[in-house]
Structure 1
Amino acid sequence: MTATLVRRATVDDAPAIAHVHLQSWRETYGPVLPADVLAGLDLDARTARWQAILDEGRSTIHVAVAGGEVVGFASAGDRPDEGGPAPRELEGLYVLARHHGTGEAARLLAEAVGHGPAYLWVWRNNARAIAFYAKHGFVPDGAEDTHTVSGHPIPAIRMVRT
């Protein structure tokens, strides 16, 4: 595997982030979402959304680049006034399946939220992700929610690191 660079994302990264986002969903959410929903995810719409997110600057976004290709990303934001259990929320962390176990996700996590208090939401049945976050000090705090994608519910749990 090629050495990976983790850096702040720019608006020029929006298409690559959108690709990783959708591919990661296809690799991860097959047990939850119907195949036609996953196949129908719109890359152009997701790219436009990531361009808007990067333009807004409300979130901090980092990318992992290996061999000139974006292979993962993390997005996080400060939430001091929104009543969350910690001041920083990990909004998303995705790494292509072929890069699982390389340490790229850990590096992205560290860049996104540091080593201090933070929280995140994770699909309740995503044992791999839950174990990864637990390894990095996050524990479920009992909060649950349901995120809906194309009309399909994805039950989620909140994990917190204090």
Structure 2
Amino acid sequence: MTEAPWRILRLDAGHTRGLAECHIACWREAYRDLVPAHVLDAFDIERRTEQCERDLVRYPDRTHVAIADDVVIGFVSVGPSRDAHTTTPLELHAMYVRCAWHGTGVADDLIHVALDPSTSYSLWVFEQNPRAQAFYRRYGFALDGARKAEFFTGTVEVRMVRDPVPRRDGTTADGAADPG
């Protein structure tokens, strides 16, 4: 078995600028046909870096980065659900991988480090992003019918949810019996 050319690390101060660069690059690569060009063009590395630094101080354990040759090539962030009407305790807030790394396993490694199998999660994904939806379905997420406009682009997002995977003893993380 060949070792992957990347490593997954908890975000630290040395990678906040790389995270900002990766985030902006991923939006520009993945959403050029979904998000208005003026929105993508307006992203600013310095402002995004400052936001990443603030988030790291406030939420030090929420984000992991994928690093190859000292460059951030992807990241994942999980935290409490931000929905007004929470359907799950936790939400996959963000998951991005640079296009050059699609299909390599980076996203699989990121999602494995981010998700506890015994906990339920929700996430929001652009409705017109079938590639991402297919990826999340592989990890047990399913559309639940909720839709909303993304707050700064107006692009329609759909919610996907994932139930906890039962433990061998038939219970979930909260100790409840598996309903299935």
* Pair in the same fold by TM > 0.5: yes
Q: Which runs of 5+ in 2 are unaligned?
A: 164-180
Moved over 6 A (4+): none
Greater CA drift, 77-86 or 2-11: 77-86
Contact 2:141 2:161 survives alignment (8 Å): yes
**Rg larger in structure:** 2
CA distance in 2, matches of 1:125, 1:60: 27
Contact 1:61 1:73 survives alignment (8 Å): yes
Partner residue in 2 for 1:32: 34
Partner residue in 2 for 1:18: 20
CA distance in 1, matches of 2:61, 2:126: 21
1:129 aligns with 2:132: yes
Change (3 A) 1:126 1:137: same
- Return the structure number with greater strand share: 1
Q: TM-score, normalised by structure 2?
A: 0.82
| CA deviation after TM superposition for structure 1 residue 62, in Å | 0.2
Contact 2:34 2:128 survives alignment (8 Å): no
Change (3 A) 1:83 1:96: same
CA distance in 2, matches of 1:86, 1:68: 35
Q: How many residues align?
A: 160
RMSD: 2.0
> What fraction of aligned residue pairs are identical, expressed as a percent?
34
Q: 3-state SS of the aligned residue for 2:110? A: helix
| CA deviation after TM superposition for structure 1 residue 58, in Å | 6.6
Partner residue in 2 for 1:146: 149
